């Protein structure tokens, strides 16, 4: 039965991290100096994403060897991923952001902690101190207008384990293309010279707007903002505007919970309809979140809209290459009244989420991209579900083994709910479950938790 996640160990507030070395890593071969086109999807993602990748110690790979292997691997992949060694610039003629592939380099930092992996506590439970494992502020010796788009900090622990902390500008990758990058980085960390695991497709003009742009759908999931031409859009989507106090909790659904939700989602009128784990979990979270919005009495007529990302690579005609290296996800949505969410059948809620995904066909995706050519704006909904659940970062094989756990560095925002995988303990049942990261004002959190347990018992 769904449970509230409790940290296995207490969380340490100071990881006692020391930075030993900071280097600029350049491509190991000369690369062409060139501008790179950025799609309208890329244009609105000019902010940093931080991820952590924890590894157990391997006696054959002490910290100094791991550091050198990763530094060399990074220099190798920067040849193909030349934009990672570049900088983001505003083209003054087109008034669009673009990559300046100038070979300025990525940042590689070596650090150590006085603690062991066990001492830093539960890796699943977000610890603010994890920010010490990743650089996300200014690099002292770089000019302010020379901000790197890729920073890797490798922090070794006293036990021999270590963490890779990546800070990458979101313009560089979406989750799928970042996994491909990790596979390629891992392939180049082996002692022998191997080709890249997957050759990335760097042609972002594949997602250029049509000429002329044709917006053929209303796109209620997008909010038009009035921004002067040439002025960058503030990328802090869904950011809480005030200093509102938020409670933070992790809700856990195990494999049997998800199987049970799939059973409840079956529609007798469509017995052969495929029901995915993502759709039932998204529907369940949507129901709880929407009904917890009104602290006193539920406004049954209020429209609630859930937003979620859809990978458009296989949905275009012709499909994008699976190895497309930019951002190829668009925001889809489902909307209905709180009355329907509270009293309607769960199968109908799941169907609305499913239809939201199916809506994203070639014409809809192209229309959304064209919308971004004509307007500036952001996703428009009550909240966004951001799923890291099935990205598979922990399945990447490095010379020293697979990661123990991978996770984003979490910022608590009430309009974003994260789906995060469990730690891979070698059992399929554990890996099939999901952790749901929720941040809400205290009274809304009470209602969310109440609904979370109530609906599972129905």
Catalytically active residues are 170, 397
Q: Provide the β-strand partners of residue 330.
A: 310
Beta-carbon count within 10 A of 95 CB: 12
Helix boundaries (H) for 38-169: 40-43, 63-80
Cα 96 from Cα 232, distance rounded (Å):
9
For 56-172, strand residue ranges (E) read 87-91, 96-101, 106-113, 150-156, 162-169
What are the strands of the beta sheet with 87-91, ordered from one edge?
34-36, 96-101, 87-91
Cα 51 from Cα 368, distance rounded (Å):
28
Taking a C-beta distance cutoff of 8 angstroms, is the pair 190, 399 a contact?
A: yes
Of the CA atoms within 13 Å of residue 233, those in its CB half-sphere come to: 23
Q: Of 421, 439, 124, which Cα lies nearest the Cα of 258?
A: 421
Cα 60 from Cα 398, distance rounded (Å):
13
- Helices 277-291 and 255-265 pack at an angle, to 10 degrees, of 80
Bond before 212 cis per omega within 30 degrees:
yes
Cα 196 from Cα 206, distance rounded (Å):
22
Q: Is the dihedral of CA 138, 139, 140, 143 positive or negative?
A: negative
> 350 φ, ψ to 5°?
-65, -40
Question: Tokens for 112?
Answer: 């150590």
Q: Of 47, 41, 95, which Cα lies nearest the Cα of 325?
A: 41
Beta-carbon count within 10 A of 267 CB: 14
Q: Provide the β-strand partners of residue 337.
A: 303
345 SS3 class: coil
Cα 120 from Cα 113, distance rounded (Å):
10
Straight-line distance from the first to the last Cα atom of the chain, in angstroms, rounded to the nearest whole number: 12
């Amino acid at each position: 039965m769904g449970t509230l996640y409790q940290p296995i160990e207490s969380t340490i507030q100071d990881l006692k991290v020391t930075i030993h070395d900071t280097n600029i890593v350049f491509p190991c071969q000369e690369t062409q100096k060139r501008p790179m086109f950025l799609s309208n999807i890329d244009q609105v993602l000019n902010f940093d994403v931080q991820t952590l990748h924890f590894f157990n110690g391997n006696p054959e790979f002490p910290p100094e060897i791991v550091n050198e292997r990763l530094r060399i691997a990074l220099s190798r992949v920067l040849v193909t991923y030349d934009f990672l060694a570049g900088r983001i610039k505003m083209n003054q003629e087109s008034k669009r952001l673009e990559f300046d592939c100038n070979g300025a380099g990525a940042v590689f930092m070596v650090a150590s902690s006085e603690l062991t992996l066990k001492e830093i506590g539960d890796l699943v439970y977000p610890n603010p101190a994890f920010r010490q494992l990743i650089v996300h502020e200014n690099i002292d010796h770089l000019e302010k207008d020379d901000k790197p788009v890729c920073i890797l900090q490798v922090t070794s622990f006293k036990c021999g384990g270590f963490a890779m902390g990546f800070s990458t500008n979101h313009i560089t990758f979406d989750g799928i293309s970042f996994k491909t990058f990790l596979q390629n980085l891992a392939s180049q960390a082996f002692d022998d010279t191997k080709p890249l695991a997957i050759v990335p497709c760097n042609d972002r003009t594949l997602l250029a707007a049509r000429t002329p742009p044709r917006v053929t759908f209303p796109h209620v999931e997008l909010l038009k903002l009035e921004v002067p031409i040439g002025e960058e859009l503030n990328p802090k989507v869904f950011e809480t505007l005030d200093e509102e106090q938020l409670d933070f909790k992790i809700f856990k659904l195990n494999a049997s919970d998800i199987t049970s939700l799939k059973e409840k989602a079956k529609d007798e009128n469509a017995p052969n309809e495929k029901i995915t784990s993502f759709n039932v979990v998204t529907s369940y979270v949507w129901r709880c979140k929407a009904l917890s919005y009104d602290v006193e009495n539920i406004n049954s007529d209020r429209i609630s809209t859930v937003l979620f990302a859809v990978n458009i690579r296989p949905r275009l005609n012709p499909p994008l290459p699976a190895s497309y290296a930019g951002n190829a996800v668009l925001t889809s949505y489902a909307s209905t009244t709180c009355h329907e969410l509270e009293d309607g059948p769960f199968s109908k809620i799941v169907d609305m989420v499913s239809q939201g995904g199916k809506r994203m066909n070639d014409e809809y995706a192209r229309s959304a991209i064209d919308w971004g050519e004509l307007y500036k704006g952001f996703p428009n909904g009550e909240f966004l579900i951001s799923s890291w659940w099935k990205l598979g970062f922990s399945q990447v094989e490095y010379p020293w083994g697979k990661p123990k756990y991978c996770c984003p560095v979490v910022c608590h925002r009430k309009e974003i709910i994260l789906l995060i995988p469990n730690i891979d303990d070698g059992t399929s049942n554990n890996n099939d479950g999901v952790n749901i990261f929720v941040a809400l004002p205290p009274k809304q959190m009470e209602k969310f938790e109440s609904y979370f347990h109530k609906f599972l018992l129905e």
